[in-house]
Chain A
Amino acid sequence: MAETVERLVTNETPLPLGAYPKLVTRDMDVAGIDQIEVYRAHGGYTALAKALGQLQPDDLVEEVKRSGLRGRGGAGFATGLKWSFLPKESARPRYLCVNCDESEPGTFKDRMIMELNPHLLVEGTIIAAYATKVHHAFLYIRGELPFAMRQVERAVHAARAAGLIGTDILGSGFDLEITISRGAGAYICGEESALMESLEGKRGYPRLKPPFPAVVGLYGGPTVINNTETIATLPRIVELGAETYAAYGTEKSKGTRIYCLSGHVNRPGNYELPLGTPLRTLIEDFGGGVRGGKRLKAVIPGGSSTPFLTAEHLDVPLDYEAVLAAGSMLGSGGVIVLDEDTCIVGAVLRMTEFYRDESCGKCTPCREGTFWLVQLLERLEEGHGRESDLDLLNDICDNIAGKSFCPLGDAATSCIVSSIKLFRDEYLHHVRAHACLVGPKASRTDATLEKLAHHG
């Protein structure tokens, strides 16, 4: 059991950088890994063979439960538990949806998996379908990512030609059809019920829950919906065994995940780390620290929908519980770094414009509230705001959060409420001095960008 295995990596035992485990990203830099022959030469599809040949679907669900895997899309719900909510019997067919609609600002890991190692995603999809007794799986790929889509299409085509998709896969008697579908530009479709509406050919409006997708989902049938990275982790769990996988990370946040590092750092990129690795290790050791030797002002740890942290939080371990305790959320793994020259009001305005533009318009608090939040933030940013606007912002946030069908409205409030709490003086400076506390906005020079473009 996991409890008896010595933890391979924890936040108490820092490792040399090269010794960090790579599970999901293991073969990403292998030339040609997107080709089925190369993928197989690196052990690809052996996890599928093991799952189909040695495990019953219910055993596989238990295995994933034991691994401690939690959803990597944002909510962090336990994957095996989610699967077990599917009814044993149902009149309608059951479906699997893979959420490849990555669009949370700050997040760019799912696109990498699709572009670099699409067979890992396909193998994980087949394993998940087998575990959940699904015979038709859908990959809903974001419309703006046509190269990722071509890569996944080619992988599905090759897997089908190799007998890994279709009827009686590897002689197991298990049948699976995989259909790839393309989105068309709507952040809301990353929300699971909106994604299913979109897949059904409609506007991406979220559905009222309950009933949850496990009971009434796609085409009214019981439906499992998982994030791309979550699915791409399954072959490794099967390959290594749940206990070995669970030995990475912390007691409650097991395994590894891909952190997407962006913003004002020297080496932005995707870094797979065991859960519980301190934020400082990610930003300073992997990311090379804040660019230009500047000081760090703020960090968004889990995509733009999660509250700000500050330099005081650099030693917080990046696991679900510790980040929550620090006042934010691990979310989608999108870690965005803001340096000392960044105007918080300007940054929050930009993030809020995103939610205003992407609100689907179904629920009044979110549709109208995000509009008014932007109006107020614009006024503050331009130096025409009033001190009472801060209370008004908090009040509007309070009237949005928890009052809509889906979490988009809640997400819009995170950066506002947390920034007013953490950087109140900066807002007040905009009100009183009619100017930014930090002076003109700094941006990257041509030289910095050229260096990054050629990987310095």
Chain B
Amino acid sequence: MIGEDVKAQMREIAARYPSPLSGMLPCLHLAQETEGYITAAGMQAVAEVVGAKLDEVESVVTFYSMFHTQPVGAHVIKVCTSISCYLCGSDELLAHLEDKLGIRRGETTPDGAYTLQAVECLAACGMAPVLQVNDEFVEFVSPARADELLARLARGEGTEGLGSKWTLAGNAASANGTAAGTGATREGAES
């Protein structure tokens, strides 16, 4: 439900730009975060805030792959299938997940818990094969690690510690921001 509070947030976002139309993508993200996917009401609200026609908003929604026009599962699992992940076994990983979840890529489990997607390069090629659970990274995903991940998710746990480990010049570094995988949001977000 896009209430007045969400619309107010949208107006605040649109005001950051020289033209309110630039608020299109961020406002659509907000609509999707609020309702789980892009609904007709979501598009209507965005159209009003950014000063676009409804079909212009729809045209943008259908162009960008991150916008869902149908409801998705509580956990959206995106498996990268581009070249570096492909070389390191992403097809086997995807098949394994299809098998475990009992769905094909692009589908959602009947209980609404999981949506499985095959996606293009996620900029984590050195940690191949990789996947994201609700946009947080899980790296070096062997089938065994995938099983561990599914068990964690089933227990209601997150993906902490499974991603954002960097190898640079032979040394390891971990992203030490407190928010990795915790879903902490944008306290720093502003114009």
Contact = CB atoms under 8 A, between A and B. Distances in A.
B83 A184 contact: no
B136 A147 contact: yes
Nearest to B46: A201
Interface string A27-48: 0110110100000000000000
B177 A102 contact: no
B126 A181 contact: no
A362 to B, nearest CB: 11
Contacts of B110: none
B125 A204 contact: no
A336 B84 contact: yes
A156 B135 contact: no
A150 B25 contact: no
Contacts of B120: 103, 105, 187, 354, 357-358
A381 to B, nearest CB: 13
B87 A338 contact: yes
Contact of B168 (A25, A181, A201, A203): A25
Interface stretch (A109-117, A229-237, A312-320, A428-436): A109-117
Interface stretch (A7-15, A167-175, A209-217, A255-263): A255-263
Contact of B140 (A177, A347, A453): A453
A51 B82 CA distance: 41
A80 to B, nearest CB: 27
A27 B89 CA distance: 33
A219 interface: yes
B29 A263 contact: no
A262 B127 CA distance: 8
B26 A181 contact: yes
Interface in B61-90: 63-67, 78, 81-84, 86-89
B175 interface: yes
B98 to A, nearest CB: 16
Interface stretch (B11-19, B99-107, B150-158): B11-19
Nearest to A118: B177
A61 B18 CA distance: 26
A89 interface: no
A102 B171 CA distance: 23
Contact of B187 (A154, A160, A219, A270): A154
Contacts of B137: 147
B132 interface: yes
A342 interface: yes
A150 B83 contact: no
B143 interface: yes
B173 interface: yes
B60 interface: yes
B175 A151 contact: yes
A452 B65 CA distance: 30
A261 B127 CA distance: 10
A453 B145 contact: yes
B170 A17 contact: yes
A184 B33 CA distance: 13
Contact of A198 (B25, B135, B143): B25
Interface string B138-168: 0111111100000000000000000011111
Interface centre among A185, A267, A300 (most CB of B within 10 A): A185
Given A34-B177, A157-B187, A271 B169 contact: yes
Interface in B90-126: 91-92, 119-126
A181 B169 contact: no
A4 interface: no
A108 B124 contact: yes
A28 B168 CA distance: 8
A449 B141 CA distance: 7
A351 B88 CA distance: 14
Interface stretch (A52-60, A136-144, A396-404): A136-144
B29 A184 contact: yes
A154 B188 contact: yes
Contacts of B123: 102-103, 107-108, 110-111, 142, 144-145
Contacts of A17: 170
A3 interface: no
A29 B185 contact: no
Given A443-B88, A455-B165, A184 B59 contact: no
B190 to A, nearest CB: 7
B184 interface: yes
Given A200-B22, A268-B127, A25 B169 contact: yes
Nearest to A358: B120
Nearest to A93: B18
A175 to B, nearest CB: 14
A150 B184 contact: yes
A121 B52 CA distance: 33
Interface centre among B88, B125, B127 (most CB of A within 10 A): B125
Nearest to A188: B63
A29 B171 contact: yes
Interface of B: 16-19, 21-26, 28-29, 50, 52, 56, 59-60, 63-67, 78, 81-84, 86-89, 91-92, 119-129, 132, 135-137, 139-145, 164-173, 175-177, 179-181, 184-191
Q: Which 3 A-B pairs have the closest CB atoms?
A: A269-B167, A201-B24, A157-B188
Given A186-B63, A267-B170, 4 more contacts: A34-B176, A116-B166, A151-B177, A179-B16
